[in-house]
Structure 1
Amino acid sequence: MTSILTIGRRDMLRASLMGSAAALIPSAARAASTMPRSTPVRWIDGEAPTLSLGPTFGVPWPRGAVKPGAPLAVRGDGKPLPSQHWTLATWPDGSLKWSAHALPAGMDQPATLDVAPGRPTAPKAGVMVREQADMVEIVSGATRWRIPRSGAVAIAGAWAGDRKVMGPLTLVASIDDAPENGRRTQLTGRIDRVTVEQKGPVRAVVRIEGIHAGAGRSLLPFTVRLYAYAGGDHLRIVHSFIFDGDPEKDFVSSLGLVAAVPMAGAPHDRHVRLATTQGHLFSEAVRPLTGLRRDPGEAARAAQIAGRAVPMDAMADSVRPLLDRIPTWSDFSLSQLSADGFAIVKRTQAGHAWVDATAGTRALGLGYVGSPMGGVALAARYFWQRHPTQIDISDAASDEARLALWLWSPDARPMDMRPYRGVLGMEGYDAQNEGLAITYEDYEPGWDSATGTARTSELTLWACAATPGADRLAAMAQANAVPPQLMVEPQRIHAANVFGPWALPDRSTPMKARIEDQITNLAAFYEAEVDRRRWYGFWNHGDVMHTYDADRHQWRYDIGGFAWDNSELSPDLWLWLSVLRTGDAGLFRFAEAMTRHTGEVDVYHLGRFKGLGTRHGVQHWSDSSKQPRISNAIYRRIYYYLTGDERVGDLMRDLLLSDQTLAHVEIGRKVPGAERKTLPDGVIEMTFGTTWCAVASSWLAEWERTGERKWRDRLLAGMTSIGGLQYGWLTGTAPFDLSTGRFLGKGDSISVSHLNAVFGALELNAELLDLLDVPAYRTAWLDYCRWFNAPRAQWEAKFPFPYRGRNLREGHSRLTAYLAHETRDPAMARRAWEEFFSGEAGLGLSHGDPRVTLQGPQILGPTVEWPHVSTNAAAQWGLAAIENLALIPDALPAQG
């Protein structure tokens, strides 16, 4: 367990809500915390895995507790473990805020772990990286990998000891010029740059950048990271690509990786393995010896089934001279074209018929081909969830087989990235606003483009010294499909005071228990809806729908802005705060899949919209509202610090200049009746919550990660200039100087939007005000929290501007709660809970579990419904419930 941390005066003030408002103590006055004696870390699934492919996890540290560069060690079951650590983030005083830790791969993982001060233990056989002018070599134990710095090969080969078990691995794709029966152009990944990011001893990371090329074209740029862990004979592969084609002309018809595998030995000693469901394999030899009319003998059959070389001297005399009469099966294919069905076929060679082998539902996505002299396994995570996928093994009877894993199956229909709809007469803004009024879709011709969206896939590649046994292969497939994950205990994360207002679950009173039950049930409902509603597919997996259609008993997948959610009103934050509180494995992976989706598919990574995300719609890119509120780094930040994931780190860094994109993408261009201001070059109109806070979240992350003062200064420029406006945050929007990061003008008018604080503004401001001492900004934010949900009479007595109706009162109760907490105002605390329990423009607190199960011919199948649910309401209710319980728990009446 952790030691008791030193509590500063500010923390004591925050411990209760009593009396009237008192002067607030700036963050700089907080006492530094002491170093926790040890930090408990747990497997999120509750027990040590059968096989770990090399875990990496983040550890938060209280401000001032750990000096930068201090050695940290990991122990497992009370004994030192080999480990490697590095800094992810620092506090403003330079002390360590987040560290990342990597452990070796292997079967024997400890059940309990902790991190404590001390020099880390080195592995007996660490990972080494050797850099040469034309090549990078990674050595892990007896396994070697060679990565060329340029050319058409991503990995030149792999060796198990002195034997080469894998030849070249290439990145491949194809483009058709029509969605059906088009001409196909084959593309191969061209390597442009290779960077060594880590060199070991426990973990090495190599980053490969390039683009697919062929037939005079270059498109689909990619970034691929290779991770090697001590104790492993594998590479973890994180494969990211950007769709940069023309949706009307370029139809991606395949995308994948292909490895050459040297084959040795007789055909009956060559083996194919395909992982089907958990713990099960399709296991066959290129030349089968079982089931023959003549029995080769038990020893021969047993050896082949086990994947070992068949002892020829034990083979029956009636079979040995007839082996060449047995057909060899050279090609195998497993295709997963939907979330609910895969099929395996095989053939003897090209030019002959495919034979159906078997079929099933959801394959884990691992393929292996090899012989007693070695082989290669390749697996993709989310194999069935990201359909259409495929594994092909070809030429297994020849001297060199090919193992291909397709992230997009060449046997499926090509990707169709065209808009789903026509213009319908909506060339002008007036007509587009009419469309918004009826379908909730903000349509605009040419703005519903998929060009610039991206997708990241996770894979594992093994270089095997021999054909692994069935148990080992099944464990490999499972470890890739559901990677074992370590996470610091929630109590310890909370003690570090990171990620704003949240607290551990508390069921100490009937009303707290009732709220906690709904927090749990609501997250569980959405997690289960993914499978019930089949929210799967290459571009869709990880997102949820926006609004439910109770008449059709399904989500409004085909109704404009009511379809895919695209992070609208912060479901990402709600889920990650739920993970922080509980460490729940299902929620962790649900939120992880959402982070993988929303940071890639819903955001533009190149082109005119680079750095912006797309508002909710039927397609993830179909809405014309391109805004930072969706690309928001605050939605990625928790996952980054819990895992140290480099790809998500890239995505946050890519947003640092996203405000500059708004110089030519005017967010408010269609607002009817809005005054169109003429602004100087380099100055744009910017809202505080939906835009500035979203971009500022990337500046905060970069400041934490690098310590570079320019990002702190960018934050301070925005904060001080908002604080200098007459009405502060209530101004809502003001001209913003893109070069200085300052808001301009007097701010002598008020514009209160129900959207300004529901895209992470409170969560970001809670952290900013804890890190930066800007009194005027603090006052401006607390004023906003005071007046957003204020009663009409109080507003009209205070301001010379008319009171306009508010929305999302329930969700905004957490602003009132934050004010009550910061000012120690019991009356505000009572008001916050009244706002929360009103359920106004929200989900409301149910009596018991509101979920109902429906049956009957009017629905597709057995259906579970949550009455009146929408993701807007769910996310905002979840955030308000979690944060109100953290901020003003003692003000909650025991019975409501």
Structure 2
Amino acid sequence: MRRQEKKPSQQSRRQFLKQSSVLLSSLPFYGKVPFAMPFPIPKHQHGTNLHWLGNHAPDTKRGVTWGVPWSKGALKDAEALVLAAAGEANLCAQHWVTARWPDGSVKWSAHAAVLGREDSGADLVLHKEGARLVRVDKSIVVAEDDDAIRVNTGSIQCVFPKKGGNLIKSIQLGTRMTATDGQLVLYWQNLPEQVAGEPLLSEVLTSEIRDAVVEHAGPIRVVIKTTGIHRSDTGRELLPFTVRCYCYLDTSSIRMVHTLVYDADEYTDFIRGLGVRFTVPMTDPLYDRHIRFCGDNGGVFGEAVKGLTGLRRDPGKEIRDAQIAGNATPPISTFNPSVAKGLPYIPSFGDYSLTQLTPDGFEIRKRTTAGHGWLSSAHGSRAAGAGYIGGASGGLVFGIRNFWQSYPAQIDIRHAHTDAAGLTLWLWAPHAPAMDLRFYHDGMGQDTYEEQLAGLDITYEDYEPEFGTPYGVARTSELEILAVDRTPTHAELANRVKDMQHPPLLVCNPTYYEKSGVFGGAFTAGPPKSVAEKAIEEQLAFYIDYYKKQIEQHRWYGFWNYGDVMHNYDHDRHVWRYDVGGYAWDNSELSTDLWLWYYFLRSGRHDVFRMAEAMTRHTGEVDVHHIGRFAPLGSRHNVMHWGCSAKQLRISTVMNRRFLYYLTADERIGDLMREQIEAVHALQRIVPGRKVGQIAAKGEDKVSMSFGTDWGALASAWFTEWERTGDEEIKQRLLNSMESIGNQPQGFLTSSANMDVHSGTFERVGNSNIHVSHLSAAFGLPEICAELIGSLHVPVFTKAWLQYCEAYNADPAWQKRYLGQTFSKPNLGQGHSRLTAYAGWFLKDLTLKERAWKEFYAGASGMKLGIPSTIRLAPPEVLSERDEAPLSTNAVAQWGLAAMQCLAFAGDPMEKGA
């Protein structure tokens, strides 16, 4: 039974009745909740220093949410925290707890504030004590009745309906209605493209709300969560959605996190367009209405609906300058009379389209209105997917985050010459080919397990009929809209868009993350302490930089692809094996996600954070089935992200999501983690290792489960839910599973057993055989076990894990002496050096620590120390320039994790060759 996390709003807000002319009626309100505004804190007082990720502070006031870890016992609760600017002026902020240590102290806290460049100073500081608090009667106001949720940020007033088709009914800035009728739109057709002799049928589906709730309410930050389905007039329903709208105090922007789940038939349902649509009231004269689009390079395309420049007759410099700047032009009486008289004959361009159909090219077109031809207006490489529509008296700034990276994308403006313009932010461009998610081959006669195993042997593709379906996969996109009271200058718009594309985020110093003890203490920070460590650090940095280049050089972009990397390289064709079975998309294989996140914690590099963020968004959504037969399991690596018939917890593991959740408090990531709590039941339907001899357990309450990839993923889900909510039932399941693993005849070396799906208890195996898989500890098991042992006292589990850590790379003599039997030397010896290091750290055993470094340097099934040789290829040998090194993603990820954890647990490395 799941328990819902206690929302921060329930801990911090009071409800009461309040009259409000803005909100139109007397309703139950969330707010006005007084919140802490402390007096200045003396400069000498210590606190937790914060800084902007990549030194990117918001250009103007903007809502920001971030997470901070705390050492066990350091903080009792988050309510007394105080945010200060460089130890001087204190700032209005909202604080809540996202995870606790076993002793009840805060492990992770989340924070929301409205900050601008002027607030950043040198550093921001979170203080725990010593502040004298006063109460300030100011907060976002939220009103709710049976029909709608109304939000007044103090800057804009918004109405979020609870039923119907509009997710956002209206956005009002002052007295101006800036946008209305915000809804989702989907274009469906029955064929991927027109085929001669076959009718092409199509329909338009729009959003239908099933539920809308205030998910989080506090004085600074409010989150409205709307769920529903796309529905047509004929009753066709497709692609359930969840849209979260984020509003912050005294700001006029709404951040939208848009999630869809694919529930269509990929052979009969083809999505031609998918977007978010608004109506934008237009009140200014046609020559004072403005359209802006932004390039990814900071450039701005800007035109008026009715242009006054370049005419045969000059209206006057003051008038031309005003229009170009986006300001209201002088009265028409001041126009050159010939221009004033000729205004009806100057065409008004009401329709504009920006299309990004590849990652390398966009086009802007415009026309007067439907039924007339388009003019090609501008071209470029990469658009920011953002711009402005409105007039000199105000309008709407808009943006789709990761626009060109998630191609094909499009922005349409229609009827800007009328009183009501249409703005559609297309996440999938209607001008692109329809979304075609059909499997890439016909099965090639692989109807039996024997034939499927033969296919696996030649292309590494685990194929099985009806398993390679996209049914249930998801995609999350981020958008933002901003109401403004005038047309922004080009520089202002470019800065706004920069913040939309790279949302400012507060982070801690890497040394602080290390000292807090979170994430199992599996990383260190700070400058290298020796020549040997410097060499390791340089190689860690090389791999990150190499993959950054590979992403760009091989264009690992696209709506369904962005965030993932490829698995293996083809040195003959000089391309990654994008079309070879199980060697294509990586899908988190061997903990690529963990490699990036631990390296970010170690380095603090903003580019690494963005790589890891994109990967978490992708691997948590696209690589996992969220509904249907395979939910909530993930799909192993394949040419198509969902193509592999191995549906496994090792891909959907919560271990890969926790970093982004705790660093940003993102609610959608919280959803993904909670999906996994009852994942054990999916293993009753889908046996994860069926092609390698795993047999389904008998009995409706039993499931066959490995102690490695399966239980490690389940344990991370249970542990995370417990530390988020304190759920004792979840904790007991976790404890039962840990104790029953420890009580197996060979502990973790027993490898697998049947689990009771209700209690989490494993049956004791009736033999003492040892089974060791090289993959058991390659998907987050070492990392979650370190956290479990550091948080829960289960001696038999700790003993069993330490035995496994010491035994994996041990020689036969050790095995015979301590286990009474031997087993064949397994694969991934270098990657498992981190297990030896952990055992050495826990047992304070110098010999084990030295052994760990020897295993690491030996490079078994990994890589040697040293920057690998890289060659630069150029046309005509290849299509475009690219770097090539003898690497595989598996080896890089495991090398990186081994390097960082050996440094954390085994201490200073030996010199190479020692």
Which deviates the most, 400-409 or 801-810? 801-810
Matched, 1:712 2:731: yes
Corresponding residue of 2:126: 115
1:438-467 Cα shifts (integer Å, max 9, x gaps): 000100010000000000001101122222
How far did residue 373 of structure 1 move?
3.3
Aligned counterpart for 2:627 among listed residues 606, 611, 617: 606
Q: Is 1:483 aligned with 2:503?
A: yes
Secondary structure of the 2:487 match is coil
Q: Distance in 1 between matches of 2:134 and 2:345?
A: 57
Find the residue that maps to 1:889 and give its secondary structure.
coil
Equivalent residues of 1:128, 1:199 under 8 A apart: no
Match of 2:84 among 75, 95, 101: 75
Structure 2 residue 877 is matched with structure 1 residue 861: no
Which aligned pairs between 1:623-642 and structure 2 lie closer than 5 A?
623-642=644-663
Which residue, 155, 172, 177 being the options, matches 2:185? 172
Q: CA deviation at 1:675?
A: 7.0
How many angstroms does 1:76 deviate by?
A: 1.5
Out of 319, 337, 343, the position equivalent to 1:317 is 337
1:140 aligns to what?
A: 153
Deviations 1:145-183, CA, capped at 9 Å, x for gaps: 111111000101111112212121111112111111232
SS state of the match for residue 466, structure 1? coil
Tell me the CA shift for residue 279 of structure 1.
2.1
Structure 1 position 477, deviation (Å): 1.2
Does residue 519 of the first structure (1) align with residue 519 of the second (2)? no
1:805: how far off?
Answer: 3.2
Say whether the 8 Å CA contact 1:171–1:188 is kept in structure 2. Answer: yes
RMSD (CA atoms)? 1.6
Question: Displacement of 1:56 after TM fit?
Answer: 1.0
> SS of 2:535's equivalent?
helix
Name the SS of the counterpart of 1:670 in structure 2.
helix
Match of 1:583 among 592, 597, 604: 604
Contact 1:152 1:189 survives alignment (8 Å)? yes
| Helix, strand or coil at the partner of 2:621 | coil
Whether the 8 Å CA contact 1:787–1:795 is kept in 2: the answer is: yes
1:714-765 deviation digits (Å, cap 9, x = unpaired) = 1101100001111000001111111211110235221100000010000000
Deviation string 1:619-646 (CA, Å, 9 cap, x unpaired) is: 0001000000000000000111011111
Structure 2: how far apart are the matches of 1:792 and 1:464? 72
Q: Select which of 547, 559, 563 maps to 1:538.
A: 559
Contact persistence 1:506–1:516 (CA under 8 A): no
TM-superposed CA distance for 1:64, in Å, is 1.1
2 CA distance for matches of 1:368 and 1:506?
45
Contact kept? 1:367, 1:391, Cα under 8 Å: no
Contact 2:655 2:716 (8 Å CA) reproduced: yes
Q: What residue identity is the alignment partner of 1:269?
A: D
Correspondence for 1:95: 105
- Residues in 2 aligned to 1:801 and 1:425: alpha-carbon distance in whole angstroms: 43
Whole-angstrom CA distance in 2 between matches of 1:193 and 1:430: 48
In structure 2, which of residues 65, 69, 75 is the aligned counterpart of residue 66 of structure 1?
Answer: 75
Amino acid at match of 1:288: G
CA separation in 1, counterparts of 2:610 and 2:62?
17
Q: 1:533/1:53 Cα in 2 relative to 1: closer, same or farther (>3 Å)?
A: farther
Matched letter for residue 627 of structure 1? Q
Secondary structure of 1:54's counterpart equals strand
Indicate which of 188, 195, 214 corresponds to 1:196. Answer: 214
Partner of 2:764: 745
Pairing partner for 1:884 from 875, 892, 902:
902
1:645 to 659, 662, 666: 666
1:793 Cα deviation from its structure 2 partner: 3.3
Q: 1:153 aligns with which of 161, 166, 177?
A: 166
Matched residue, 2:720: 701
Q: Identify the range of structure 1 (366-375 vs 300-309) with the bigger mean alpha-carbon deviation.
A: 366-375
Match of 2:266 in 1: 247
Verify the 8 A CA contact 2:646 2:689 in the aligned structure 1: no
1:566 offset after TM fit, Å?
Answer: 0.2
Alignment check: 8 A CA contact 1:568 1:872 kept: yes
**After the TM superposition, which residues 727-806 of structure 1 pair with which residues of structure 2 at under 5 Å, given as runs?**
727-746=746-765, 748-799=768-819, 801-806=821-826
For residues 629 and 387 of structure 1, do their structure 2 counterparts lie closer, same or farther at Cα, with a shift above 3 Å needed?
Answer: same
Report the more deviating stretch, 571-580 or 731-740.
731-740
Letter of the 1:59 partner, please give it.
V
Q: Does the CA contact (< 8 Å) of 2:740 and 2:764 recur in 1?
A: no
Instruction: Please list, as runs of the form range in 1=range in 2, the aligned pairs for 1:274-673 lying within 5 A after superposition.
Output: 274-311=293-330, 312-500=332-520, 501-671=522-692
Residues of 1 paired with 2:486 and 2:117: CA distance?
18
How far did residue 136 of structure 1 move? 0.8
Match of 1:5 in 2: none
Q: For residue 618 of structure 2, what is the amino acid of its counterpart?
A: H
CA shift in 2, pair 1:485/1:675, >3 Å: closer
Query: Structure 2: which amino acid aligns with 1:381?
Result: R
Alignment partner of 1:84 is 2:94: yes
Aligned with 2:388: secondary structure?
A: strand
Q: Are the structure 2 counterparts of residues 678 and 480 from structure 1 closer, same or farther at C-alpha, using a change threshold of 3 Å?
A: closer
CA contact (8 A) 2:745 2:764 kept: no
Secondary structure at 1:156 match in 2: strand
Task: Give structure 2 stretches of 5+ with no counterpart.
Answer: 1-44, 195-199
Q: Which runs of 5+ in 1 are unaligned?
A: 1-35
Q: In the TM superposition, what whole-angstrom CA distance separates every residue of 1:781-824 from its partner, at most 9, and x where no partner exists?
A: 01101111111333245445552231000000111111111111
Aligned residues: 857
* Partner SS, residue 417 of structure 1: coil
TM-score, length-scaled by structure 1: 0.94
Contact in 1 for aligned 2:389/2:397 (Cα 8 Å) = yes
Shift of 1:105: 4.7
Q: Determine if contact 1:388/1:412 at 8 Å carries over to the other structure.
A: yes
CA distance, structure 2, for counterparts of residue 151 and residue 888 of structure 1: 60
Q: C-alpha deviations, 1:363-417, integer Å up to 9, x for none? A: 0011321113331222100000000000000000111100110000011111101
Contact 1:88/1:644 (8 A) holds in 2: yes
TM-score normalised over the length of structure 2: 0.92
Query: How far did 1:844 drift?
Result: 2.1
What's the offset of the Cα at 1:124? 8.6
Q: Matched residues in 2 for 1:810 and 1:223: separation?
A: 42
| Amino acid corresponding to residue 745 of structure 2 in structure 1 | Q
Q: Residues of 1 paired with 2:881 and 2:861: CA distance?
A: 29
Partner residue of 1:11? none
Between stretches 193-202 and 749-758, larger displacement belongs to 193-202
CA distance in 2, matches of 1:109, 1:323: 47
Deviation per CA, 1:418-452: give whole Å up to 9, x if none.
Answer: 10111111111111011111000100010000000
Return 473-482 or 539-548, whichever deviates more.
Answer: 473-482
Q: 1:280-332 CA deviation, whole Å, 9 max, x = no partner?
A: 11100010000001000011111111112211233112211110010110100
Cα gap change, 1:590 to 1:129, in 2 (>3 Å)? same
Per the TM alignment, residue 121 of structure 1 is displaced from its structure 2 partner at its CA by 8.1
Moved more, 836-845 or 600-609: 836-845
Partner of 1:258: 277
Contact 1:225 1:237 in 2 (8 A): yes
Could you tell me which amino acid in structure 1 is paired with residue 282 of structure 2? M
Give 1:219 shift.
Answer: 1.5
CA distance in 1, matches of 2:192, 2:85: 54
Give the letter aligned to residue 114 of structure 2: P
1:94 deviates by: 1.0
* Residue type at the aligned position of 2:85: G
1: CA distance between counterparts of 2:697 and 2:572? 47
Change (3 A) 1:565 1:73: same
2: CA distance between counterparts of 1:115 and 1:684?
Answer: 46
Aligned partner of residue 811 in structure 1, secondary structure: coil
**How far is the alpha carbon of 1:143 from its aligned partner?**
1.1
Shift of 1:557: 0.5
SS at match of 1:564: coil
Q: Is the Cα contact below 8 Å between 1:123 and 1:230 reproduced in 2?
A: no
Q: In the alignment, residue 790 of structure 1 is paired with which amino acid?
A: A
State the AA in 2 paired with 1:149.
K
